[in-house]
Amino acid sequence: MVAGIALIAVGSRAGVMSRWSFAAAMVAATTAFVLDDPAGSTLAATATSLPVRRLLRASAAVVAAGLWWIGAVALATHRVGAVPMRALTLEFATFVAVALAASAAAARLGDRTGGGYAGAIVALVYFATGFLPSQPWLPFPSEPTAPGAVARLAVILVVAVTALAATSRDPAGGGPGFKVRARP
Buried-exposed string 71-107: b where 16+ CB fall within 10 A, e elsewhere: ebbebbeebeeebeeebbbbbbbbbbbbbbbbbbbbb
pLDDT at 101 over 50: yes
pLDDT at 94: 92
Tell me the pTM: 0.78
pLDDT-derived band at 44, boundaries 50, 70, 90:
low
- Whether residue 122 is contained in a domain is answered as yes
For residue 38, the enclosing domain spans 2-167
What would the mean pLDDT of 152-163 be, rounded to a whole number?
A: 91
Residue-level pLDDT at 105? 85
Q: How far apart are alpha carbons 76 and 69 in whole angstroms?
A: 10
pLDDT of residue 18: 81
Calculate the alpha carbon distances from 171 to 4, 11, 33, 44 in Å. 36, 49, 21, 9
Q: Angle CA(175)–CA(100)–CA(5) in degrees, nearest 5?
A: 155
Establish if 176 belongs to a structural domain: no
- Asked whether residue 180 is domain-assigned, the answer is no
pLDDT recorded at residue 164: 87
- Predicted pLDDT at 63: 93
In a domain, residue 126? The reply is yes
Q: Do the domain assignments include residue 183?
A: no
Residue 8 has pLDDT above 90, yes or no: no
pLDDT class for 120, splitting at 50, 70, 90? confident
> pLDDT (tens digit, 9 = 90+) per residue, 167-178?
887 665 554 444
Contact of 103 with 35, CB cutoff 8 Å: yes
Number of separate domains in the chain: 1
Give the number of other Cβ atoms within 10 Å of residue 27's Cβ: 24
Supply the DSSP symbol for 183. P
Does residue 175 lie in a domain region?
no
